[in-house]
Amino acid sequence: MNWLLAHFDTLRESLVRLARQPFATGLNVIVIGIALSLPVGFYLGIDNLQAFSRQLSSDPQVSIFMAMDAGQADVSAVERRLRAHPEVGRVDFVAREQALAKLKRSAGLADVLADLERNPLPDAFVVTARSNDPATLEALRDQAARWPKVEHVQLDAEWARRLDAALGVGRMLVTLLAALLALALVAVTFNTIRLQILTRRDEIEVSKLIGATNPFIRRPFLYLGALQGLGGGCAAWAIVTLAMIVLNVQLAELTTLYGTAFKLQPLTAADSAVLLLFSAALGWLGAWLSVSRHLWQIEPQ
């Protein structure tokens, strides 16, 4: 109980010290908030882009063309396999007569096609998969190609590969940016706590003279660092949330012109908690490094 009360008193004292220097504290919090908001904003943008890709009308499709000599029983067998497949979301059958009629209307070749003795187009299935994952689409293509009376299977997955590769590069860039800015946050906290230690040098010397241990002296500085990091995390959350609100206003006008509906989603409760804990932990780390580096140099004369 005494241990808990001691930590509570130290926390209260640290809050009071930060409140006594509102300008310096505010500047540090803003710097940390801006540094954290950049990787968080990019992460949120990639997450929203991935969600938007699932809403695109041009979902990857697998076109399955039957052999010319395939009968109705063969077509029905392939259709049953497709509808029972766990990765297949939608199955559209295009009869050869229907395909020929559509070709006449769209290509303007009605006169040329009318002279053909027989329909050169096969029966076909247009399959929409449940997943945009390129590996899943290729597995579905390879399975369908081995079915009886299936002549050819065509997969339109190039855009899915490009999107997946682009998102992978984006995630790597966000990770690198987050690592660099995390180091910057630790450096800012390190320098701030170093100045606090130098300012309170006489107080630390007196504390050591009366028998205070290093962990006892270190504790308020660690709280200062953690609180400063937490404040920066709150600032980053506010910056990103405000940016999402402003961008959604502009996106509402843009998406209306394209006949679609898309809205940037803010940070979830779990993401917000991770952001605040991560920022507090970085502040604590910077303070711990600074105290460990400078505290041992102060000894009572």
Detail the DSSP E strand segments found in 134-289.
Answer: 150-155
Give the residue carrying structure tokens 């020929």: 100
Clarify whether residues 81 and 126 are in a common domain.
yes
Last residue of a domain, one of 138, 156, 174: 156
Phi, psi of 272 (to 5 degrees): -65, -40
| Cα 274 from Cα 41, distance rounded (Å) | 14
Q: What is the pLDDT of residues 258-276, one digit of tens each?
A: 656 667 788 888 989 999 9
Taking the chain (301 residues) in runs of 10, the rounded mean pLDDT of each run is 66 74 82 87 81 60 87 89 87 82 62 64 85 77 89 74 74 83 84 79 71 73 87 91 86 68 81 91 88 68 57
- From the list 295, 278, 230, the residue with the least C-alpha distance to 18 is 230
Last residue of a domain, one of 126, 156, 186: 156
| Cα 78 from Cα 152, distance rounded (Å) | 13
Clarify whether residues 252 and 280 are in a common domain.
yes
Range of the domain at 22: 2-55+162-297
If you write DSSP's letter for every residue of 246-299 in order, what string do you get? HHHHHHHHHHHHTT---------HHHHHHHHHHHHHHHHHHHHHHHHHHGGG--
Q: What is the pLDDT of residues 82-138, one digit of tens each?
A: 898 888 888 888 888 887 777 666 655 555 556 566 777 788 988 888 877 777 778
Clarify whether residues 113 and 147 are in a common domain.
yes
Rounded alpha-carbon distances, angstroms, from residue 259 to 49, 59, 254: 18, 17, 9
